[in-house]
Structure 1
Amino acid sequence: MVLKKSYRVLVEKTFQRKVKHLPLEAKRLIEDFIRRRLQGCENPRAFGHGLSANLAGLWRYRVGDYRIICDIQDEQLIVIALACGRRDSIYSD
């Protein structure tokens, strides 16, 4: 019997604060993306892109005009949602 590894998502307080200030439709899109694509998935990298420069090691996910920045920790099988925001400002925060 082969056990499949599935990741779980942890949300940082900074992420929660950012989501709280987003428009309702954006909140729904982001929460739906996390629930459907990341929570319980076997390969969270399949849906995102690795970042470089000062954000090297982190991953970003595109949800419409918004981005979700995450840290994937393979040893613990967790995806930590660190930040979210509009594409034009997320990388400068």
Structure 2
Amino acid sequence: MTYRLVISDAFKKDLKKIDRTQGERILAFLFDNINGCEDPRVYGKALKGGLRDKWSYRVGDYRILAHIDDGIVTVTIAEVGHRNKFIKGDD
């Protein structure tokens, strides 16, 4: 059973704000590692607190916020931003 990516509109909007080279690196990570994989959890980190249903993937100084749904075998990519965005908790 392989997982498929679902890209949110918020992620697309965030990606447009990122340097093109970094954006390409992020997309390459997602499509090379997460899309079609058997277990997307091996590449990321489970979050805690109010985000406990989300997972974080690290690509350089950027973090990708995702929700893994085992029922429909998808990984929904919700947000991407510089790690400072997620450390501070800014939107």
4+ residue runs over 4 A deviation? none
How many Å separate the matches in 2 of 1:8 and 1:57? 18
Name the count of aligned residue pairs.
89
Structure 2 counterpart of 1:92: 90
Question: Structure 2 matches for 1:15-54, cutoff 5 A?
Answer: 15-54=11-50
Question: Percentage identity across aligned positions?
Answer: 33
Q: State which drifts further: 20-29 or 39-48.
A: 20-29
How many angstroms does 1:47 deviate by? Answer: 0.3
CA RMSD of aligned residues (A): 0.7
Q: Please list every run of 5 or more consecutive structure 2 residues that lacks an aligned counterpart in the other structure.
A: none
Q: Please list every run of 5 or more consecutive structure 1 residues that lacks an aligned counterpart in the other structure.
A: none
Q: Which amino acid aligns with 2:11?
A: F
The structure number with the bigger radius of gyration is 1
TM normalised by structure 2 equals 0.95
TM normalised by structure 1 equals 0.93
Q: Which amino acid aligns with 1:28?
A: E
Structure 2 counterpart of 1:56: 52
Q: Which amino acid aligns with 2:90?
A: S
Q: Which amino acid aligns with 2:80?
A: C
Q: Which amino acid aligns with 1:82?
A: A
Q: Which amino acid aligns with 1:53?
A: G
